[in-house]
Structure 1
Amino acid sequence: MQPLFRLFLNPHCGFKVYTDGTKIEANANRYSFVWGKTIKKSRERISRQLEELWDYASKVAKDELGQPEEKFENPSPEKVRETVEKINAALEGKEVDPKVKQKLRYAGKNWPEKLAEYEQKEEVLQGRNSYSKTDQDATFMRMKEDHMKNGQLKPGYNLQLSTHGHFVVNYSIHQNANDINTLIPHLESYYNLYGTYPETLTADAGYGSEENYSALEKNGTKAYVKYNYFHKELREEGRKNRERGLLDNLHYDNIRDIYICPIGQPMERSGTRIRTTSSGYRQEYAKYTATKCAGCPLAASCKPMKDEKTIEVNRKLERYKSEAKKRLTSPQGLEKRKRRATDVEPVFGHLKQNKGMKRYMLRGLDKVDIETGLHLIAHNIAKMTALKAG
């Protein structure tokens, strides 16, 4: 469906795009949910109870069971079946607690079947936290259009749009409710459509992460993307230094790679911490430590532990945020921030309020993609017709 955009959009015009997302309800039963956390807890409960049964049998029939069994972490249906058979054989002829006998009968009859069911559900989830039984591609998300007005989770899809002059130049459908994880696949969708990346991209703070800034830089796209606390930082710029955060009051010596605290004590590099995101992106946090904090007059606000203060700094992310702030506060950045609210957001309003695109008619990711594409092509054609008529 996406290649049809090429019928009336110039793929070489160097789009300056405005990107945003919205949740659209799936054509699925609102209460037919499967939760990943529930499956995880059920697996853990079976593992724990299986180990308890083995420990009990080990005390009653130690000679029959032989060597201690390995840990029963995340057991397979075959493992459960095999273990229950071993316990039953070892306890045969022994005086056994009636409750344990009942538990063993239940475990042998139900647990292998339950674990097989959990495996099938986890295969459908594919890392998501939930899905609907009546549309297994849909994930439960919080919707702005909530008929019960209580923030209820409903099955839906995350629609991402990039626009240019109210024309939709790219769209992508996601099963992840968090916008921050949609930008990179959305950009790849754009590249597959046009063979190039957008010249500039403007988006709100929901997309401001190190991974996204890095991808935009790598693709040659100038990013006008906010980050968390961007507006708070602007409000606090006029305040006194003592009211700002600790990191804002530290001086960084780039040559010696140290921070200088407000009383002049150096905070030297003391280590590195690596954090890996859910998508596999590695973030590096440098640790800096001040070791002479005893008697410091700023200890009440700095709150050192054991006369030492350690901070963690993501140097790469700090650079990206500094560059983003410089762009966003420039005259061009101010204009783009204003235009984002009047370029991409009205398209969502038009689709939902005027065209009734609040709930999909079709089920399944592929069909939802086609339905969305038809809506957006119709929107672009109507926009072109109006421009020509005007």
Structure 2
Amino acid sequence: MRDGKPNGFHFLDHRTTDAKYNVITDTYITAGNVADSEPYLARLQAQIDKFGFEVEAVALDAGYFTGYICKKLSEQNIFMVMGYRRFGKRNKEVPKSQFKYEEETDVFACPMGCILEYATTDREGYRQYKSNPTDCAVCPLRDKCFSEKQKQKVITHHIWEEYKDIARKNKLTSTGKKLYKVRCSTIERSFADAKELHGYRYARFRGVKYVQMQAYLTAACQNMKKMPFT
């Protein structure tokens, strides 16, 4: 089960379309509890190998915004634009952006000048930086910085954060804004047409193998409708 998704048994179509004609270039079915990011790089490479695509840019939603994907796309010199989630409004008075990272000493400095030192790296690749509880106890921003149950401030910084920063900066450029806006008329429209016009709202079979067949047939129908215009 995935957060924000309906309960029950579902399948997920990891679909790719081109930006010019909205032709479906790949459709890959998994169980509904598989994250969008898991098969992405493999499916992208499969299309490059099969069709000889020279991929210049990609526009992805927030489900693909991971350090690993950003790193791999950057290494392939692919211009990437991605959505990203904003989690809640807790502690909005002292956001992470106000904590300055000092690369030479590998520490964060809080708005009051206190240091958060590196503590550990979790299994997901996030480096944790923790403040000194003694500093936080007398800090005037303490109540606005973290919850009452906590004794110190913890900042997380992914080991591949620099690549995620590239994606963030790309989205703010004029090219990035135009590219991300194209999603509405391409991939999002492709899914909408499939659901409304091609019976894609429900799986017609059981099992990934057979739902994959449904996905292929649906994609073929949608692509044939575009052939006179491509």
Which bracket does the TM-score occupy, shorter chain normalised? 0.7 to 0.9
* Equivalent position to 1:299, from 138, 142, 149: 142
Distance 1:174 1:200 in 2: 25
SS in 2 for 1:347: helix
1:170-200 residue CA offsets vs partner (Å, 9 max, x unmatched):
2211114332334234324324423557321
SS in 2 for 1:335: helix
1:250 equivalent in alignment to 2:104 = no
> Which position in structure 2 is the counterpart of 1:161?
15
Correspondence list, 1:278-297, <5 A = 283-290=125-132, 291-297=134-140
Give the TM-score taking structure 2 as reference length: 0.80
Identity over the aligned pairs, expressed in percent?
A: 21
> Which position in structure 1 is the counterpart of 2:56?
199
> Which position in structure 2 is the counterpart of 1:133?
none
CA contact (8 A) 1:197 1:221 kept: no
Distance 1:325 1:156 in 2: 31
CA contact (8 A) 1:293 1:307 kept: no
What stretches of structure 2 of length at least 5 have no aligned partner? Answer: none
Which has more helix, going by share of residues? 1
1:360-386 residue CA offsets vs partner (Å, 9 max, x unmatched):
44443333323322221232222012x
1:366 equivalent in alignment to 2:209 = yes
1:356 equivalent in alignment to 2:199 = yes
What stretches of structure 1 of length at least 5 have no aligned partner? Answer: 1-128, 130-139, 144-150, 234-241, 277-282
> Which position in structure 1 is the counterpart of 2:69?
212
Q: Give every structure 1 segment of 4 or more consecutive aligned residues whose post-TM-superposition deviation is greater than 4 Å.
A: 140-143, 303-308
Structure 2 letter corresponding to 1:212: I
**Max Rg structure:** 1
Distance 1:372 1:196 in 2: 22
> Which position in structure 2 is the counterpart of 1:225?
82
Distance 2:181 2:26 in 1: 21
Greater CA deviation, 326-335 or 204-213? Answer: 204-213
* Equivalent position to 2:226, from 376, 383, 386: 383
Give the TM-score taking structure 1 as reference length: 0.50
CA contact (8 A) 1:141 1:156 kept: no
CA contact (8 A) 1:172 1:189 kept: no
Distance 1:284 1:243 in 2: 21
Distance 1:205 1:175 in 2: 19
> Which position in structure 1 is the counterpart of 2:30?
174
SS in 2 for 1:297: coil
Correspondence list, 1:103-114, <5 A = none
RMSD: 3.3
> Which position in structure 2 is the counterpart of 1:274?
122
> Which position in structure 1 is the counterpart of 2:108?
259
User: C-alpha displacement at 1:343, in angstroms?
Assistant: 0.9
Correspondence list, 1:1-390, <5 A = 151=6, 153=8, 155-164=9-18, 165-177=21-33, 178-195=35-52, 198-229=55-86, 243-269=92-118, 271-276=119-124, 283-290=125-132, 291-303=134-146, 309-385=152-228, 387=229
